[in-house]
Structure 1
Amino acid sequence: MKILQVTQFFKPSWEAGGVARAAYEISRRLQMAGHDVTIYTTNRNRYSTGLPTNRPLNVDGMKVYYFENLRKYLPGTALPLVPYYLPFVAHRDLQNYDIIHIHEHRTLLAATVSHYAREYGIPYVLQPHGSLPKDRALGKAKIKNLFDFIFGTAILDAASRLVVMNSIEKEQIIRMGAHEDKIAVVPNGISLERCVTSRSKGEFRKFCGIENGSNLILYLGRIDRIKGIDFLIEAFSRLVQEQNDAILVIAGPEWSYKRELEEKVRTLGIQDRVRFVGYLDDVGFAYQDADLLVYPG
């Protein structure tokens, strides 16, 4: 089959979080199974990659378009990702695909691809990746409502299949008007290859400056408000009152929200018990030394 994957973030933009990783792993495994896979994404990245844009590149056997976005020319603005060349490519090529997989629906990539998919009669699967709630957007609810009014509802309604992570997300998407018979609950997959490390046990503790006798509590994921890390820090501050050998390590891409978390740590007086170590490409390095892995969100 000729399959198109649509995602705002893709390899090497791992710091964007789980969507980039999920889209890559799904695409790679489809390609390994013999399918012809193309990815539409953007060149949005915290770090300069030097990747050519607006033309296909071969990435691990897959054809990837890194569409340039207008944020490059308007730094410091709140402009959404605007892949200005995407409509030309979608209009030209979309009719050639058998099926499309759209990751996240409140994006201009999703709006553009959904429009041409409907025009050409190409079925598409929509996977929100936890982006549905408006009450958790903390200030972005109005923007989400506006997007849904203009694009989002139509994108949702026209999807042939809706993939959600769990029963909670299923209930959320039903409340938005989705038909239950179109929904499939598919938890995120785990790449066991990424859990294997060549490093020795104990190296991560040394990297973090943690003694071997301490209990290492690990959060590994995107540093984002919706992940519930503030609740984890609050709970940890109570734990250390009873267990003074515990250390909390927070590992993941560090966006502006990290500053709020650091302030919370200082306010609670637990600076010596919490480590922010940034993004880790070698996650197995951290997993093997952790006594407890916590995902509060």
Structure 2
Amino acid sequence: MKLLNVIPSVNPKSGGPIMGVNTIGSELTRLGHTQEIVCLDAPDETFVINHQRKVYALGSSQNGYRYSPALVPWLRTHARNYDAVIVDGLWQHHSFGTWRALAGSGIPYFVFTHGMLDPWFKRTYPLKHLKKWLYWPWAEYRVLRDATAVLFTCEEERLLARESFWLYRCNEAVTAFGTSSPPIDASRLKADFLSKHPQLEGKRLLLFLGRIHKKKGCDLLIEAFTQVARKCPDLHLIIAGPDQTGWMAELKQQASRHGIDDRITWPGMLEGDEKWGAYYASELFCLPSHQENFGIVVAEALACGKPVMISNKVNIWREIESDHAGIVHDDTVEATTQALQQWLDFMPETRLAMSQAARYCFDSRFRIDRVAESLVSIIQNSVPPLSTPTHPAIDRGA
């Protein structure tokens, strides 16, 4: 098949959706399929020029909605060259623009919501939710209603999505999600990472890796680390990731108030071998999020044989708990502290068994070949037989 992903940005700093698109794309290529991308970035961005896939960059707007007047005409002209179109995410022009271009055309399109219908956003940002509600009936509701299928990465996400808006109707499908296996030369990657950060040599390392955003619960992790660090002098915390909202300064002040700023390392965004080296150098991966659709980083940690300590707001927590691949806790300071202390209290053989369970969990649930095969199966079963549509698209202007 020839597939087209429509996404707001291919910037790796934008978070999980583009990471998923890139990783699945590599496996789709291995299976003989073709993946191309249309995005709303400026075409001269370095991350566009250097992207591993064919990227059509149609926008240069930096406003939150990322409106691009070129999107709808481009899709009307080119979408029929693809067997299916996949929309990644909601609430920006790429999703509504795809609906305007393709609804009624006969061209199948699918929507990955990437957790953007989670009711956590409604509870946490009620004013933003009100704005979304005003937008919902004439835009995103129609995007989902008319999609060939709306794709959820786990059962928990599918059930939660029904709670955000009472006007909700779509053809739901749950597909596997995950990531590729990491490089296997763990010793070299670990050594290279520690050579770049010599202050970490000989320490017991806890790792948070992801966007530094309030929903990720980094403040909970710092509070919990403060409580247990006094009893474990060789324990050290790594908080790695891009600071998109300027929250890092406040977090550093929090650590300084507790007198533990010298026991937290902030290496920024980690990519490639340095990212894998951080996983291999750490003994536990921590993600105490208040809301997390899937968490590619969780799957990456499991792939490296690292147990995970995650909140029960990370939507794959049931799978982690079932496979004994980590510790699941509430997204509170008290529960995060208890979970971290529980890990430190484990006997070495218990930690080893959990490490083995982590790799088993990845292999059985989150390997990228299973993900790609699941996605291909859903697309092929939803639109048999795949054929180039012949009717013109209907203009569904607001």
Which of the five TM-score ranges fits, normalised by the shorter chain? 0.7 to 0.9
SS in structure 2 opposite 1:40? Answer: strand
Identity of aligned residues (%): 26
More deviation, 286-295/265-274: 265-274
For 2:9, the equivalent position in structure 1 comes to: 9
Matches within 5 A, 1:206-245: 206-245=195-234
Please tell me the residue identity of whatever aligns with 2:178.
G
Name the structure, 1 or 2, with higher relative contact order (CA <8 Å, separation 6+). 2
Cα drift, residue 48 of structure 1? 4.8
Q: Distance in 1 between the 2:225 and 2:20 partners?
A: 29
CA contact (8 A) 1:219 1:249 kept: yes
For 2:288, the equivalent position in structure 1 comes to: 296
Q: 1:101–1:51: structure 2 CA closer, same or farther, 3 Å change rule? A: closer
Q: 1:166–1:23: structure 2 CA closer, same or farther, 3 Å change rule? A: same
Please tell me the residue identity of whatever aligns with 1:26.
I
For 2:379, the equivalent position in structure 1 comes to: none
**Structure 1: tracts of 5 or more residues without a match:** 53-57, 72-77
Please tell me the residue identity of whatever aligns with 2:17.
V
CA contact (8 A) 2:146 2:170 kept: no
Matches within 5 A, 1:121-200: 121-133=106-118, 134-135=121-122, 138=125, 140-175=128-163, 176=165, 178=168, 182-186=172-176, 188-193=177-182, 199-200=188-189
TM-score normalised by length of structure 2: 0.63
Please tell me the residue identity of whatever aligns with 1:68.
G
- Aligned pair count reads 281
CA contact (8 A) 1:215 1:246 kept: yes
Q: Distance in 2 between the 1:48 and 1:287 partners?
A: 29
**Structure 2: tracts of 5 or more residues without a match:** 290-398
Q: Distance in 1 between the 2:250 and 2:117 partners?
A: 24
Cα drift, residue 274 of structure 1? 1.2
Cα drift, residue 192 of structure 1? 1.3
CA contact (8 A) 2:147 2:171 kept: no
Q: Distance in 1 between the 2:268 and 2:281 partners?
A: 17
CA contact (8 A) 2:79 2:85 kept: no
Q: Deviations over 1:56-100 (max 9, x none)?
A: xx954x4320122222xxxxxx54212232122112122333211
SS in structure 2 opposite 1:203? Answer: helix
* Aligned with residue 42 of structure 1, among 20, 40, 43: 40
Q: Distance in 2 between the 1:195 and 1:224 partners?
A: 31
Identify, as 1 or 2, the structure richer in helix: 2
Q: Deviations over 1:4-40 (max 9, x none)?
A: 1111122xx2121111110112223223322232211
For 1:100, the equivalent position in structure 2 comes to: 85
Please tell me the residue identity of whatever aligns with 2:113.
P
Q: Distance in 2 between the 1:48 and 1:126 partners?
A: 26
Q: Distance in 1 between the 2:89 and 2:185 partners?
A: 29
Q: Distance in 1 between the 2:3 and 2:92 partners?
A: 20
For 1:33, the equivalent position in structure 2 comes to: 31
* Aligned with residue 100 of structure 2, among 70, 90, 115: 115
Q: Distance in 1 between the 2:8 and 2:185 partners?
A: 28
* Aligned with residue 65 of structure 1, among 49, 56, 70: 56
Q: 1:279–1:82: structure 2 CA closer, same or farther, 3 Å change rule? A: same
More deviation, 271-280/116-125: 116-125
SS in structure 2 opposite 1:243? Answer: coil
SS in structure 2 opposite 1:135? Answer: helix
Cα drift, residue 270 of structure 1? 1.8
SS in structure 2 opposite 1:202? Answer: helix
Q: Distance in 1 between the 2:160 and 2:209 partners?
A: 25
Cα drift, residue 261 of structure 1? 2.1
